[in-house]
Homo-oligomer: A and B are copies of this chain.
Amino acid sequence: MLSGKHSHERELSPSQEHYLRAIWELRSERGYARLADLARALEVTPATLSVGLRPLEARGLVAHDDQRFLLLTPAGERVAREVHHRYTVLRSFLHDVLRVPAATAEREACLIEHDISGTTTERIVDFLKLLQEDREVGAPFQARFDAFHRSCGATRPCTDCGLACLTPAPR
Asked if A126 and B148 make an inter-chain contact with CB atoms under 8 angstroms apart, the answer reads: yes
Tally of this chain's copies? 2
CA distance A141 to B85 in the complex (A): 25
Interface size class of A (residues with CB under 8 A): 35 or more
Asked if A110 and B164 make an inter-chain contact with CB atoms under 8 angstroms apart, the answer reads: no
Collect the chain B residues with CB atoms within 8 Å of residue A64's CB: none
A50 to chain B minimum Cβ distance, whole angstroms, is 17
Q: What residues of chain A have their CB less than 8 Å away from a CB belonging to chain B?
A: 1-8, 13-15, 18, 43-44, 78, 81-82, 85, 88-89, 92, 94, 97-100, 104, 108, 110-112, 114-117, 119-120, 122-130, 132-134, 136-137, 140-141, 144-145, 148-149, 154-155, 161-166, 168
